[in-house]
Structure 1
Amino acid sequence: MNDTQLADRVATVRAFNRLYTGVIGVLDEGPADAEYSLSEARVLFELAQHDQVYVVDLRKQLDLDAGYASRLLTRLESRGLVVRERCDEDGRRQLVRLTPAGTDAFAMLNERSSQRIGGLLEQFPDEDQRRLLDAMDTIAGVVRGRPTAPSLVLRFPRPGDLGWVVHRHGALYAREYGFNDQFEALTARVVADFADRRDDPGQAGWIAEVDGERVGSVFCMRAEDPQVAKLRLLLVEPSARGLGAGKRLVGECVGFARATGYAAMELWTVSVLTAARDIYRKNGFRLVGEEPTENFGPKLIGETWRLEL
């Protein structure tokens, strides 16, 4: 990433931050919310999830330094909302909990927040609400980091998947390799051929998912030679690279072709797709033909690969 790209991305994040803080009311909370600061509300929310919490754990959970946390708890304690006391097992440690008044204060803030967010969501139709929630989930997943063992699942295509395959091929290859709309058109024709022959027992498709999100695809289709299968439309989203999705998709496709009785499997790709070519090679495919092409915009070397089954 060069300096210009980084500056553009930083500007985009900052613009989102300004929009987001305006939407949630952090910058303009109004008189009704003035009795509690955002930090105080966060403390009340966290304490409401437990009977009592060690002060040191509360600080870590909310990422507060010791001095600020102490002043914050002192303010809430002076208003009768929380109580701090020494731990019986370890007198050096403090426990903090909500008082009945603190519980009531949290209930009021919680209800007010739910009404405000509900009002925000009701401004949008159901489809847009789902898009908004999915985007929030994506942001949360990226910021928190990928789980140590994400769940990778392969399944057969369902309604809506074929359109997703066309869309992601067009968008991803344009962004990463500069392909033009002719590549998306080719993808659409391949997908249409697959759909037209959906009852053919000699073809199949797979969609890869990670934690319920689509991250890849591959299809096994018939070549003009009835003894030859074609591997088509291998795709792995950037978010799933390194998880073995490409390897599993190609392995599943090859295994199906072999079990179906094909004598060989072929595929066409371009030399810039180095990761995919490496997967093909490791599955036993060999390069059998090359030719230059400019069908998709950039000057490319088209390659034909073949695997004897």
Structure 2
Amino acid sequence: MPISTTLSDGTRSRQVTQVRAFNRFYTRIIGALRANLLDSPFSLVEARIMYELGQLPDGLEGAALRRMLDLDPGYLSRVLTKLDTNGLVSRTTSATDGRRQIIRLTEAGRAAFATLDQGSDDAVAELIDPLDPEQRARLVEAMVAIEQVLGDRPAARGFVLRPPEPGDLGWVVARNGALYAEEFDWDASYEALVARIVADYAQKHDPAREACWIAELHGRRVGAVFCVTDADDPTGRTARLRLLLVEPSARGHGIGERLVDECVRFARRNGYDRMTLWTNSVLASARRIYQRGGFTLDSENEHHSFGQDLVGQTWSLKLN
């Protein structure tokens, strides 16, 4: 795959060096996994052939298997002959075309594949078991990203929303503080504000009328939002959307829109007449999400907060 010529020579050189370093690292990891399978008599190519055939009870045409594995026809033929001689695969003529061979695993081949497959699972489990859940999620997400960028696998758009679990509220505080510092240069006073909001929610929220949702993508936390009763409305008929957050790596999946929609549906179900939120004009992506959700801008005011000169905005949405 050609490297974009729009990159500077220095950037291109650093990226090439990093990819090559990763290749060397991953080759060592694969070597370690293969070492864990030395009890198996199979080469890497033989194991791959058995894996592909193990997914297809009715077998596969030889030409299709060659294309799938990108192997030289002569080399593939020699490997299949060895597996056939050892009673692990059978090669029969296609019922519809006498020029084609159908390759299947024999019963002995399926038994050998089952042992090999379990050994592979055990080797990978041994590799990732020392990692904590967050590290495993990051690892899997990075591997999926590599496959999507360099292969032909479409980007996965599936994500889940769930209630908060132990540790999630602390994550909301930490990620808000870090992301707004990185993207807008806000100081620690913003993280302090988020900590107070989250602490109030944890200590005093009414589960019947207030809720929080955590968004997960590939098993990793990537977003959050809160729906609480607006303390400025003495009637208790106004809900307030707070602390909408989507990780940069997860943007473009519609997570922000879904979090806002979930808040609105929850507020409607629980008898609120109106929903409000407070944001700042620099948060353009969030503002577009609110506009698409039907919110309208009520007022603006200049203020100095979080170490910056900002324009605060109040938005609202009629629910009934």
Residue 232 (structure 1) aligned with residue 238 (structure 2): no
Alpha-carbon distance in structure 1 between the residues aligned to 2:182 and 2:219: 24
2:29 is the alignment partner of 1:23: yes
Shift of 1:131: 4.5
- Contact 2:210-2:228 at 8 Å conserved across structures: yes
Counterpart of 2:3?
none
Alignment partners' CA distance in 2, 1:194 and 1:31 = 51
Deviation at 1:286, TM superposition (A): 0.6
* Residues 172 and 5 (structure 1), Cα distance of their counterparts in 2 relative to 1, 3 Å cut: farther
Q: Which residue of 2 aligns with 1:280?
A: 290
Whether 1:156 aligns to 2:166 is: no
| Aligned-pair CA distance for 1:10 | 5.2
Equivalent residue in structure 1 for 2:304, among 279, 293, 305: 293
Change (3 A) 1:236 1:6: farther
Q: Residues of 2 paired with 1:53 and 1:244: CA distance? A: 39
2:78 corresponds to which residue?
Answer: 74
Q: Does 1:39 align with 2:42?
A: no
For 2:225, the aligned partner's letter is V
Deviations 1:173-219 (A, max 9, x none): 34444444443332222111111212375533233345665432221
Partner of 1:185: 192
CA gap 1:100/1:106 in 2 versus in 1, 3 angstroms: same
Q: How does 1:1-309 map to 2 (within 5 A)?
A: 3=8, 11-25=17-31, 29=35, 32=38, 36-51=42-57, 52-62=59-69, 64-65=70-71, 68-78=72-82, 80-81=85-86, 82-98=89-105, 102=109, 106=113, 109-110=116-117, 113=120, 116-117=123-124, 119-121=126-128, 124=130, 128=131, 130-131=133-134, 133-142=136-145, 143=147, 144-147=153-156, 150-199=157-206, 201-210=208-217, 213-227=220-234, 228-257=238-267, 264-282=274-292, 283-293=294-304, 295-296=306-307, 299-307=308-316, 309=318
- 184-193 or 35-44, which moves further after superposition? 35-44
Is the CA contact 1:21–1:27 (under 8 Å) kept in the aligned structure 2?
A: no
SS in structure 2 of the partner of residue 25 of structure 1:
helix
* Superposed displacement of residue 273, structure 1: 1.7
Contact 1:26 1:38 in 2 (8 A): no
Letter in 1 for 2:77: L
Aligned twin of 2:150: none
* Alpha-carbon offset, residue 288 of structure 1: 0.7
**1:121-154: per-residue Cα shift (whole Å, max 9, x none)?**
56x2xxx26445434432343324334xx44544
Shift of 1:115: 5.5
Letter in 2 for 1:20: Y
Report the identity percentage. 42
Q: Conserved in 2, the CA contact under 8 Å of 1:270 and 1:300?
A: no
Letter in 2 for 1:74: R
Moved more, 24-33 or 226-235: 24-33
Asked if the contact 1:208/1:216 (under 8 Å) is kept, the reply is: yes
Contact 2:229 2:239 in 1 (8 A): yes
- Residue 38 and residue 293 in structure 1: after superposition, are their counterparts in 2 closer, same or farther (change >3 A)? farther
Q: In structure 2, what is the Cα distance between the partners aligned to 1:267 and 1:54? A: 60
Q: Which digits, 9 at most, give the CA deviation of each residue in 1:244-289, with x for residues without a partner?
A: 3322322333454456565654333222221211122332321511
- Would the alpha carbon gap of residues 294 and 17 (structure 1) be closer, same or farther in structure 2, given more than 3 Å must change? farther
Q: Distance in 1 between matches of 2:261 and 2:134?
A: 33
Q: 1:26 to 1:86 in 2, by over 3 A?
A: farther
CA distance in 2, matches of 1:204, 1:108: 47
Alignment-mate amino acid for residue 305 of structure 1: T
Distance 1:236 1:95 in 2: 49
Residues 112 and 275 (structure 1), Cα distance of their counterparts in 2 relative to 1, 3 Å cut: closer
Which runs of 5 or more residues in structure 1 are unaligned?
none
When normalised by structure 2's length, the TM-score is: 0.73
Q: Is the 8 A contact 2:226 2:241 kept in 1?
A: yes
Counterpart of 1:286, as a letter, is L
Query: How many pairs align?
Result: 298
Distance 1:113 1:199, change over 3 A: closer
